[in-house]
Amino acid sequence: MKRVIVVALSILAISAAVFAQSSAEIDKALLAAPRQLKEGATVIKWKPDFTYETLKKGTNRLVCYDRTGQPHQPPFAVECTSIANLDRVAQNLKVEASVKDKKDLEPAFQALEKEGKWIKPEFGSVWIHYGGADQSQARTHTTIAVPGATTQSLGLPDKPTQNGAWIMNAGSSVAHIMVPGS
């Protein structure tokens, strides 16, 4: 009988530890989520093979994940985007993992773009990056994906202006609206 109790208590202790770790992972990933979307966001954990495990199933289209420790990321990094962008994120993670020197990242992505193989993000979807040297020094950077958009199609400039939004990488699959102050 004592053995059964010890086994049961051990299983409960392990389950509690796993739940606490999972809960901490979820809370960390959600640091990048806007307050009004946080509760309904999905949280995933990327695996080394660029697939993911769902830690929390959400009710809206926002998905958040921890990028801390991944190649070319700051020491603290979490990100949220549309669930429709997960194939692009996986592709980006593969490229980032294959490139040793950060200076070689841009040419690797440009090659995908030139070949028409870079998966397009969902038009109008947000990318919210929250990162820095550590959580206390992290800052938020938000962009809005507008693949293929140009100055002519959106009426926004393609260069930074004082306090105004602008299109970076206009005309490409990575075109996005830069949101000042974020």
Tens-place pLDDT, residues 22-37: 799 999 999 999 999 9
Q: Classify residue 176: in a domain, yes or no.
A: no
Q: 57 lies in a domain?
A: yes
* Residue 1: pLDDT band with limits 50, 70, 90: low
| pLDDT value at 18 more than 60 | no
Sign (positive/negative) of CA torsion 105, 106, 107, 111?
A: positive
Q: How large a percentage of the chain has pLDDT more than 90?
A: 81
Structural domain includes residue 152: no
Domain of residue 90, residue span: 2-145
Q: What's the rounded mean pLDDT across residues 42-65?
A: 97
pLDDT of residue 64 exceeding 90? yes
Q: How far is CA 50 from CA 35, 86, 93, 132, in A?
A: 28, 10, 7, 23
Residue 113 in 3-state DSSP? helix
Contact 62, 84 (CB under 8 A): no
Closest CA to 139 of 100, 174, 179: 179
Which amino acid belongs to residue 129? H
Alpha helices in the chain (DSSP H): 2-29, 35-38, 86-98, 105-114, 151-154
Closest CA to 86 of 26, 46, 59, 117: 46
Q: What is the pLDDT of residue 16?
A: 41
- Please, what is the average pLDDT of the chain? 89
pLDDT at 181: 77
Task: Please indicate, yes or no, if residue 113 is contained in any of the structural domains.
Answer: yes
**66 φ/ψ angles, rounded to the nearest 5 degrees:** -90, 130
Where residue 52 falls (left for φ over 0; alpha for ψ -120 to 50; beta otherwise) is: beta
Query: Considering only 11-20, 49-58, 60-69, 74-83, which range has the smallest mean pLDDT?
Result: 11-20
Structural domain includes residue 156? no
- Judge whether residue 44 has pLDDT over 70: yes
Number of domains in the chain: 1
Q: Could you read off the pLDDT of 65-96 as tens digits, one per residue?
A: 999 999 999 999 999 999 999 999 999 999 99
DSSP classification of residue 166 = E
In a domain, 166, yes or no: no
Does residue 75 fall inside a structural domain? yes
**177 within some domain:** no
